[in-house]
A and B are shown apart, each in its own frame.
Chain A
Amino acid sequence: MNEGKGTIDALLNQLATEAQQHPPRSYERRRMLHLLIDRILKSGRLLRPGQGYKLPASVYEDVYNEALSNTLMEICQKIDNYNPEKDVMAWCNFLFSKRFTDSYNQSIRQGLTYIGRDSETPTIEDLDYFIPAPERTSESQELQKLIEENPGNLFTKDHVKGQPRATFQFLALAKIWQDQKWKDISSELNVPVSSLCDFFNKRLKEFTPYFQEYLQN
């Protein structure tokens, strides 16, 4: 057991020291940092801080994850602060306890620690049961109406080069409200998908502030 422990420490210390020896933004430093983080997570040597706080399990996991993320980020960004005479895991767990306290305090401020079950984050399955708010449905209808009405020919003023039918109006209605695939629109209009998307995205960015304003009024 002791030997295994020593080997992990030696490897982690070696990775951290090597990372320090290469300049920031170099491939070599990044490679060592990537390995270091990977090995820290697999080391089985991370503490479980904050056991004394008696948090509900789901809240604990959440505070733990956030603190761990922040710790790993800090190790990467402050790798030059690592003291090679000490073990990486000692440094890491020291930072981890501090970040855990930060995350805990923050979740208290946000009132998350008492909500319990409702505060659980969704699973993939839960996402299928999402029901959009009624105002979203009406927003969708309003936008559709706006694009169909085409005030001042705003949405038909230009088109994809060589295909007059491929206006923003046509593309938006087909893609969003008729739920057609780009591939099908492309073969119907005989225009490559990349040209359609390029044109569509550019116009969309142009119209975004207008749409937002329209929906607010």
Chain B
Amino acid sequence: MQINNTMESLTFTVPLSRAAHQIATQFRQQQFNSQQGKQVYLNTLSVYAVNFYLKCMGFEPDWKSSDSFNPMMQKFTDVADLNVKHLGKLECRPVLPEQQIVSIPLEAMNQRRGYFAVQLNEKLTEATILGFIKNASTEEVPLTELKSLDFFLQYASQLENAVQLRQWLQHTFETGWETIETLLSPPKIAWRSQNITLDSLTAINSDLGVERIKKFNLEPTGEQIGLLVRLQARTELEMGIGVELYPTNHHIYLPQNLQLMLLDEYGETVMQAEARSTKNIQLKFSGESGEVFSVKVALGETNIVETFVI
């Protein structure tokens, strides 16, 4: 289809209205010197453009809570960040008309989920979001290294819809993630299913961590499996994670050749287990706050993927 070919290089142009310039002027007037004033002005227009883009795309940016909206932070750091619900901090760096690189100061590299390059025209009447990168290893990134906004949309949508594991520790769970007891004995048919399914599964002591299970249908065979995730906070940043598959619907064994895979944020398989007349299979690993991983369950041609943020 015609549409597919054009996504690769797609940019997004935002008209810079008076409203944008008013905010930029207001922030610039707070600055100590003209160099800083100019930087803050350009940063503000960049963030304004990305804020607009993200809102159009149905994300939930919160500029007011960001450092780039705080005159004191602007005085002390060269910052163009934007907080976005479920995504974290995105940095929006301005690019001047003739520049072939996007410069990312070291102080703007901390705890960022990614970086946008925003090109401003000489008259400052429009801003074009050129592209996005997830990680910056140098302070000057050539524009040719940027990924397209299509890549951003894919990455951010996946992240936004991911299961937020850190919230589990505060006992906030996404829909579908049940306690083992709930899944084992749905209220009305409790008398039928007791002691029949999942007998190998016993709840762990809740003091040790959190665990939740979600049921998945493996179409087209209609096989059902339960994906259990166990969490244990080890340090402030590090979390121990166990992922296990269990049969449901009165089955004792998992389907033959059922595969459980752990994928890193780039979609590469980093761990794998396969069922052969087994009651359950599991993977154990640990990760740091902010890391993204996916769990893939595959049976023949069918597979399901669930993405998590630690």
B contact residues around A166 at 8 Å (CB): none
A130 to B27, CA, bound (A): 13
- Partner of B106 from the list A25, A69, A136, A183 (CB cut-off 8 Å) is A183
Cβ–Cβ contact A29 & B58, under 8 A? yes
Which residues of chain A (71-91) have a CB below 8 Å from chain B? 72-73, 76-77
B contact residues around A77 at 8 Å (CB): 55-56, 58
- Given the interface pairs A73-B56, A123-B122, the reply to whether A38 lies near B29 with Cβ below 8 Å is no
Cβ–Cβ contact A130 & B125, under 8 A? no
A142 to B52, CA, bound (A): 37
- Partner of A35 from the list B10, B13, B29, B73 (CB cut-off 8 Å) is B10
A4 to B252, CA, bound (A): 63
B198 at the interface (CB under 8 A from A): no
Cβ–Cβ contact B106 & A193, under 8 A? yes
A33 at the interface (CB under 8 A from B): yes
The chain B residue with its CB closest to the CB of A133 is B29
Cβ–Cβ contact A41 & B77, under 8 A? no
B72 at the interface (CB under 8 A from A): yes
A contact residues around B34 at 8 Å (CB): 128-132
Interface size class, chain A: 35 or more
A175 at the interface (CB under 8 A from B): yes
- Given the interface pairs A31-B150, A35-B3, A128-B34, the reply to whether A25 lies near B72 with Cβ below 8 Å is no
Cβ–Cβ contact A197 & B110, under 8 A? yes
A192 to B157, CA, bound (A): 33
- Partner of A76 from the list B2, B58, B105 (CB cut-off 8 Å) is B58
Measured CB to CB, the closest approach of chain A to B160, in angstroms, equals 6
Cβ–Cβ contact A201 & B77, under 8 A? yes
Cβ–Cβ contact B124 & A121, under 8 A? yes
Besides the known contacts A24-B58, A34-B150, 13 further A-B residue pairs in the complex with CB atoms under 8 A apart: A25-B160, A25-B161, A33-B57, A37-B12, A76-B56, A121-B16, A121-B124, A124-B124, A130-B28, A130-B38, A197-B106, A197-B107, A204-B76
10 tightest Cβ-Cβ pairs between the two chains A and B:
A66-B17, A65-B15, A27-B157, A140-B32, A76-B56, A127-B38, A121-B21, A208-B72, A65-B17, A193-B106
